[in-house]
Amino acid sequence: MWLKIKPQEPLLLGDIRPDAQFLLGQKYIPGRILRGAWVEWLLRRGVSSEVILQLVAGLRIGNFFPAPEVPGIHYALPLPMSALECKRGGGFATEPSRDRRGHGIVDILLPYLAYRLLKQHGARFPVPFTVRCSRCSDRMEPVSSFYAVYEMSGKKHFTMFHPYFHTHTKVALSRHRRTAMEGMLYTVSALSPHTVNPIEGVSAPLMFVGRVLLRDNKVEEALASLRQALSRVAIGAMHTRGYGQIVVEDTECYLPPLDQRLEAFNETLRRIWLEIRSLALDPEDVSSEPEGVYFSIDLLAPGIFRDSDGIPTLTPSLKLIGQMLNPILWVTRPDVASGWSTAWGLPKPTQLAACMGSVYVYRWDGSKDSLLSALEVIEQEWIGDRCDEGFGECLICHPFHLEVEER
């Protein structure tokens, strides 16, 4: 189920605090912040701990990603780490506004996967794998951002999220004297409730789009409680200084179903396999299509993983229907999983995590029907540790992996 969050005030959503006099906020709303605000509101109303546990267990709240509030949205997601943009002209070529168009963004996961598999099958290539911009022939470099897909006048457009920030410089206060401290200033940089309209290039309301996964039969009661809580409790930091008020609404978004994403992922891989195979020095000695069924797991939140010996790792192994699967290709970076527990009044444990946007590719040798049922469970329950805190949210076969030409 999709929900839309509309900020009424600037949002200061905590990130790792630098050793400087600047308070920076995240550009998306982590699901764990929404869950914490919900529980805090329930506690203020005197709801018992048993009832709170039952309500919270009925929903799994995913991360909410930013997008301009204009008609025709399909979905908003973070770009996978396998996405590249032109160094000289970065940005989508399908942006509705001409002023914001770049040379295009391309995903290299499937082309590079086909190249790697072909080399494992003995194919020899005259040149190494490389990607150049099709417009200016300059090199491509990784891009990390949030994007949204809109349908306008029957055409699909990709647009990058461009944030505005609300900056305010304040005087630091002494905790002991409760007065201003001489020479101590700090600057708050909060996310503005407005962004850029991708069509007209003017200011537009900001919204956050995300999924709420339903886990038991008491869905309506939990959803009603969540909506009521988030409309009355501010989120993030500095509530008493004009930050954090939001409104929650139902919305309609379209993300292709899992079976369609899996089929399109493998069909695109087979097509690219043939194209790259034709460039080999000995194409007749290599199979005409890849063996097995391939799928990717894309992190929509940082993931906390351990290997079989309990040692932290950045590459998760999956156990599906009695089979242990290890990733055959991955793109990831390390991150830090941390946080603050209002209930404990203490910081949460700090652990190594894989960064949001990390991509892992696996191969399955069984039937596709049995694989689909197992992948549905992964998308519902997520992967890794501390999933109930919002870590490990994932998407199977991210739709942007199909964009093997600049968009």
* Span of 269-283, 314-328, 330-344, 382-396 with lowest mean pLDDT: 330-344
- Domain residues for the domain of 366 are 258-402
151 plus 181 within the same structural domain? yes
Question: Is 290 among the domain residues?
Answer: yes
Q: How far is the C-alpha of 126 from the C-alpha of 121, rounded, in Å? A: 16
According to DSSP, the residues that pair with 347 across neighbouring strands are 340
pLDDT bucket at 134, cuts 50 / 70 / 90: confident
Q: What is the DSSP letter of 280?
A: S
Domain end: 228, 250, 272, which one? 250
Contact (Cβ atoms closer than 8 angstroms) between residue 255 and residue 65? no
Model confidence pLDDT, tens digit, residues 152-211 = 777 888 999 888 887 777 677 777 777 776 667 767 778 889 988 887 777 889 999 999
244 plus 317 within the same structural domain? no
Beta-strand relationship, 180-196 and 22-24 = parallel
Our measurement of the distance from residue 225's CA atom to the centroid of its chain's CA atoms, rounded to an integer in Å, reads 25
pLDDT averaged over the chain?
Answer: 87
Question: Is 115 among the domain residues?
Answer: no
185 plus 306 within the same structural domain? no
Q: How far is the C-alpha of 96 from the C-alpha of 87, rounded, in Å? A: 21
pLDDT at 253: 86
Q: pTM, whole model, 2 decimals? A: 0.90
153 plus 280 within the same structural domain? no
pLDDT bucket at 276, cuts 50 / 70 / 90: very high
181 plus 273 within the same structural domain? no
Q: What is the DSSP letter of 321?
A: T
Domain end: 201, 219, 250, which one? 250
pLDDT bucket at 15, cuts 50 / 70 / 90: low
Helix ranges (DSSP H) in 350-396:
368-381
Domains in the chain: how many in total?
Answer: 2
CATH number of the domain enclosing 270: 3.30.70
Q: How far is the C-alpha of 259 from the C-alpha of 376, rounded, in Å? A: 9
Reduced to 3 states, what is the DSSP secondary structure of residue 257?
Answer: coil
Q: How far is the C-alpha of 135 from the C-alpha of 114, rounded, in Å? A: 24
159 plus 229 within the same structural domain? yes
Question: Is 91 among the domain residues?
Answer: no
14 plus 157 within the same structural domain? yes
The contacts of residue 229 (CB under 8 Å, 6+ apart) are: 37, 38, 41, 42
279 plus 220 within the same structural domain? no
Residue the block writes with tokens 């020479």: 183
39 plus 55 within the same structural domain? yes
pLDDT at 116: 94
According to DSSP, the residues that pair with 61 across neighbouring strands are 212
Model confidence pLDDT, tens digit, residues 42-61 = 888 888 888 888 888 878 89
C-alpha separations of 110 from 120, 287, 312 in Å? 15, 17, 28
Model confidence at 325: pLDDT above 90: yes
Q: How far is the C-alpha of 284 from the C-alpha of 278, rounded, in Å? A: 9
Question: Is 139 among the domain residues?
Answer: no
292 plus 241 within the same structural domain? no
183 plus 278 within the same structural domain? no
Question: Is 291 among the domain residues?
Answer: yes
pLDDT bucket at 95, cuts 50 / 70 / 90: confident
Closest CA to 399 of 75, 62, 69: 75
Q: What is the DSSP letter of 253?
A: -
Model confidence at 17: pLDDT above 60: no
337 plus 291 within the same structural domain? yes
Closest CA to 290 of 126, 113, 129, 128: 113
